[in-house]
Amino acid sequence: MFVWRKRAGAGWLAANEATLREVAGQRLAIISKPAHRNAIAEIASPNCSELERIRRRFGGVIEKLPRNWLRKFLRGQKPKPLKIVPASRAFGTGEHVTTAMSLRLLEKTTRFWGAQAASLHSSAACRRRLSKQVSASSRNRQAGSLRSPEAEWALLDLGTGSGILALAAAHFGVKRIIAIDNDPIAIATAMENARRNKIDRVDFKIADVRRWNFPKRVDIITANLFSELLIKILPKLKRARWLILSGVLREQESKVTRALKQNGIVVTEIRRRGKWIAILAQSLPESSRAQARDLANTR
């Protein structure tokens, strides 16, 4: 058995996937991973000549698999525990677009593709520098040269609902997590979901975000709340390095982004699905906030 394989970006796939489907049909597999810009296209065939024709046309490499490749593959598969957040009376099962977009941004942020990535994406040189930084981070975690969720990150989940964002953060490696909601039923549901998924490092609290005393230091705040409430508590949220905000309608986008700028918070990415948006933002250092407020007020 032989496998043709090519690592490709979104542009290349958009231009060539349909043609590859015509050639290979269901044998074409597109493998993509969260926070990876490139995907891998693969086609398996017992006929090396067929794959050679594909290689000459599309590039890539051909690998010959050992005779016992299937047995080795199956032997290496270890079943993973099934993680489920069931639909219940608490909001947030991953099916609503606001939750889904927040999950994407959370995964991106915890893998060094959040605010730092957005602030460096303006030039090819910066993109290369960021790529080197991300690669170096995995080598230097033990030395502590770059922060990693495994080492020290703290996350605050506001309006946790079912707890899905807090539980996902634990899955992504964040060690210190506080999840709050003003609904006792939501907190009870979130605690049960944590128990089902054998996650015990989330501190669930019943509290009102408008009156709750925020911790002095937090790296990430996720807030799936109505825009009016988000704007009201922004002075508290800006102590976080990264913010993931959702629950905002499209027609409220300009109002929310203007409030973020006035509080010295830089919007680094906005995702839109249907009538909803989700925002990834980074809080500026104190020395830069006054300048950002002045700039926002002149527009």
Please give the average pLDDT of every successive group of 10 residues along the chain, which has 299 residues. 87 87 83 72 88 92 80 60 51 64 88 43 39 42 38 85 91 90 89 90 93 87 92 90 92 94 93 91 67 49
Looking at residue 112, what is its pLDDT? 54
Q: Would residue 14 count as lying in a domain?
A: yes
Looking at residue 78, what is its pLDDT? 61
Looking at residue 179, what is its pLDDT? 96
pTM of the model: 0.58
Q: Would residue 242 count as lying in a domain?
A: yes
The closest of 42, 54, 41, 39 to 9, measured between CA atoms, is 39
Q: Would residue 253 count as lying in a domain?
A: yes
Q: Are residues 119 and 185 in the same domain?
A: yes
Q: Would residue 85 count as lying in a domain?
A: no
Q: Are residues 171 and 211 in the same domain?
A: yes
Please give the residue range of the domain that contains residue 230: 97-137+147-297
The CATH number of the domain where 209 resides is what?
Answer: 3.40.50.150
What distance in Å separates the CA atoms of residue 60 and residue 42, rounded to the nearest whole number?
9
Q: Would residue 80 count as lying in a domain?
A: no
Looking at residue 92, what is its pLDDT? 45
Q: Are residues 18 and 154 in the same domain?
A: no
Q: Are residues 131 and 241 in the same domain?
A: yes
Q: Would residue 83 count as lying in a domain?
A: no
**Count of the separate structural domains present in the chain:** 2
Measured CA distances, 94 to 34, 56, 112, 204 (Å):
16, 42, 22, 19
Specify whether the CB–CB gap between 197 and 167 falls below 8 A: yes
Q: Are residues 47 and 186 in the same domain?
A: no
